[in-house]
């Protein structure tokens, strides 16, 4: 049976794109998006890049099509209200303003929130300790990025690296503290993580690996090495947690996100999309949650089709990008468990190169640093599951 009313919880990229896809696929029933942020749905990637740097304006952030066009799509967007619970059998959503919303089908698009440092490491007075996930977070951080300001970033993941990059370009003295021996090791592997870590050093941003924040004090941070770093602001980028608490009484598997089947269905007439969804990607024989912009878009498109009766597995080749210090890092594919990574074009000395990842005799990923056209050429090859030999033949 086709649903008459679809409720989407989470008014961000995956939620909005699901609504758009449902309309494009011919869904004519009622659509409601419920979001707990006060803003109209906006795009997050510029928050650590152009918006934080002041080169991208607030009115350039809303998701496309912008909010007025959501009205054209006949979608009711309710902002500033959180879903607090759901009865899947009765198909009723409860919200933080004390209301209930009845639905025929439900979309979980609630994304993730920041992980925090342990409270015992905080000081009662001292520099502000901020994170970056939302527009409000970016607005809080922006005024601190002034020439000469000491900025300590905790965590050398993509968001931490982008904040350090933006801070350094604003004339701040930025330092990055990373617990692991190599930055981005989990995402890119040791060899490529180490190369990308050199982007910091090239701009005189100090990267302290094998180091953690022990204590915030009145004037900065004390590190696990005993060193003290002066800080006007501390930015913590140590990962995220999926927003699943509103689904706690449903009996769904909520360990590390909403567990779905291969079609993104989490329950009868319920799908999950974007950062919050965990599903078995049959392409890789792996059940995972992916925190990339493109995955939010592609999963939204797929889950909309599933809700309207589709039964195809969602088998994407993951893709993400990151902009740091004028360089563009792009990665297509899965880098976990590779056997070899080979630089096939460009120069690692210049930090402008293309690398391919091999597992067995297959190409499994391509990484480009400032090689936009070359890396995107491997997308179709990865979708086609080409052999390593054929991939090498395709190197431009
Ligand atoms: C600063 C930053 C920079 C990024 N840069 C890149 C990049 O360069 N490249 C890249 O590939 N990816 C990037 N990303 C990741 C990308 O933005 C995310 O993958 C994408 O936003 C995921 O979309 P989503 O809709 O699944 O989740 P989210 O964007 O997290 O949205 C979920 C929404 O649901 C709301 N919500 C949560 N719980 C409830 C509830 N109970 N009721 C109602 N609403 C609720 C949240 O407040 C939020 O508004 C970046 C992310 C950040 C934060």
The per-residue pLDDT string of the chain (396 residues; one tens digit each, 9 = 90 and over) reads 678 999 999 999 999 999 999 999 999 999 999 999 998 899 999 999 999 999 999 888 888 655 556 677 899 999 999 999 999 999 999 999 999 999 999 999 999 999 999 999 998 899 999 999 999 999 999 999 999 999 999 999 999 999 999 999 999 999 999 999 999 999 999 999 999 999 999 999 999 999 999 999 999 999 999 999 999 999 999 999 999 999 999 999 999 999 999 999 999 999 999 999 999 999 998 999 999 999 999 999 999 999 999 999 999 999 999 999 999 999 999 999 999 999 999 999 999 999 999 999 999 999 999 999 999 999 999 999 999 999 999 998
Q: Return the number of other C-beta atoms located less than 10 Å from residue 248's C-beta.
A: 12
Tell me, in angstroms, the distance from the centre of ligand 1 to residue 344's CA. Answer: 34
Cβ–ligand 1 contact at 47 (below 6 Å)? yes
Tell me, in angstroms, the distance from the centre of ligand 1 to residue 158's CA. Answer: 14
Give the ligand 1 atom nearest the CA of 277.
26
DSSP conformation class of 387: B
Give burial (CB, 10 Å; 0-12/13-18/19+) of 63: buried
Tell me, in angstroms, the distance from the centre of ligand 1 to residue 44's CA. Answer: 6
Tell me, in angstroms, the distance from the centre of ligand 1 to residue 111's CA. Answer: 5
Give the ligand 1 atom nearest the CA of 295.
19
3-state secondary structure of 353: strand
H or E element that contains 173: strand 173-177
Tokens representing 45 are 């990637």
Tell me, in angstroms, the distance from the centre of ligand 1 to residue 317's CA. Answer: 20
Tell me, in angstroms, the distance from the centre of ligand 1 to residue 165's CA. Answer: 21
Cβ–ligand 1 contact at 44 (below 6 Å)? yes
- Residue-level pLDDT at 78: 92
* CA–CA dist 52, 216 (Å, integer): 24
Ligand 1 pocket, mutate which of 275, 321, 329 (most atoms under 8 A from CB):
275
Please name the residue whose Cα sits nearest to atom 50 of ligand 1.
Answer: 45
Give the ligand 1 atom nearest the CA of 81.
43
Cβ–ligand 1 contact at 274 (below 6 Å)? yes
Cβ–ligand 1 contact at 37 (below 6 Å)? yes
For the stretch 38-41, contacts whose Cβ atoms lie closer than 8 Å and that sit 24 or more positions apart, written own/partner, are 38/79, 38/80, 38/136, 39/79, 39/135, 40/66, 40/67, 40/77, 40/79, 41/11, 41/12, 41/13, 41/15, 41/16, 41/67, 41/70, 41/77
CB 52 within 8 A of CB 143: no
- Residue-level pLDDT at 396: 84
Cβ–ligand 1 contact at 41 (below 6 Å)? no
Tell me, in angstroms, the distance from the centre of ligand 1 to residue 77's CA. Answer: 17
Give the ligand 1 atom nearest the CA of 110.
34
3-state secondary structure of 219: coil
Cβ–ligand 1 contact at 374 (below 6 Å)? no
Cβ–ligand 1 contact at 275 (below 6 Å)? yes
* CA–CA dist 112, 245 (Å, integer): 11
Cβ–ligand 1 contact at 358 (below 6 Å)? no
Cβ–ligand 1 contact at 244 (below 6 Å)? no
Q: pTM, whole model, 2 decimals? A: 0.96
Cβ–ligand 1 contact at 48 (below 6 Å)? yes
Cβ–ligand 1 contact at 193 (below 6 Å)? no
Give the ligand 1 atom nearest the CA of 290.
19
Tell me, in angstroms, the distance from the centre of ligand 1 to residue 37's CA. Answer: 11
For CA atoms 168, 174, 175, 176, the dihedral sign is negative
358 pairs with which residues across the strands?
A: 340, 363
Give the ligand 1 atom nearest the CA of 34.
43
Strand order in the sheet with 92-95: 83-87, 92-95, 100-102
Tell me, in angstroms, the distance from the centre of ligand 1 to residue 362's CA. Answer: 32
CA angle, 275 then 49 then 67, to 5°: 60
* CA–CA dist 344, 357 (Å, integer): 10
């Amino acid at each position: 049976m086709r649903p008459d009313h679809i409720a989407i919880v989470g008014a961000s990229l995956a939620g909005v794109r699901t609504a758009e896809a449902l309309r494009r696929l011919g869904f004519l029933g009622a659509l409601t998006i419920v979001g707990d942020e006060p803003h109209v749905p906006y795009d997050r990637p510029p928050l650590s890049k152009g918006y934080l740097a002041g080169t991208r304006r607030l009115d350039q952030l809303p998701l496309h099509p912008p909010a007025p066009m959501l009205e054209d799509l006949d979608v009711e967007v309710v902002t500033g209200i959180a879903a607090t619970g759901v009865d899947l059998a009765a198909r009723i959503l409860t919200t933080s303003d004390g209301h209930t919303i009845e639905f025929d089908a439900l979309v979980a698009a609630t994304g993730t929130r920041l992980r925090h440092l342990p409270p015992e490491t905080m000081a009662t007075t001292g520099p502000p300790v901020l994170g970056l996930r939302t527009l409000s977070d970016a607005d809080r951080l922006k005024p601190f990025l002034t020439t000469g300001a000491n900025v300590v970033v905790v965590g050398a993941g993509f968001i931490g690296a982008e904040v350090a990059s933006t801070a350094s370009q604003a004339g701040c003295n930025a330092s990055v503290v990373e617990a692991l021996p190599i930055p981005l090791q989990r995402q890119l592997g040791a060899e490529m993580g180490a190369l990308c870590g050199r982007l910091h050093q090239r701009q005189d941003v100090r990267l302290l690996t094998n180091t953690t924040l022990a204590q915030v004090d009145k004037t900065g941070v004390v590190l696990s090495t005993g060193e003290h770093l002066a800080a006007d602001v501390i930015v913590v980028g140590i990962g995220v947690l999926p927003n699943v608490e509103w689904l706690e009484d449903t009996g769904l598997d909520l360990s590390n996100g909403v567990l779905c089947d291969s079609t993104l269905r989490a329950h009868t007439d319920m799908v999950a999309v974007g950062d919050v969804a965990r599903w078995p990607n049959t392409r890789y024989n792996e059940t995972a949650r992916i925190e990339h912009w493109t995955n939010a878009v592609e999963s939204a498109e797929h889950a909309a089709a599933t809700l309207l009766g589709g039964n195809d597995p969602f088998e994407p080749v993951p893709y993400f990008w990151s902009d740091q210090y004028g360089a563009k890092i792009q990665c297509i594919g899965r880098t976990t468990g590779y056997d070899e990574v080979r630089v096939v074009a460009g120069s690692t000395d210049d930090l402008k190169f293309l690398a391919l990842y091999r597992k067995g005799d297959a190409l499994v990923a391509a990484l480009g640093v400032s090689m936009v056209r070359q890396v995107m050429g491997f997308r179709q090859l990865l979708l086609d599951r080409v052999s390593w030999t054929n991939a090498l033949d395709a190197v431009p």
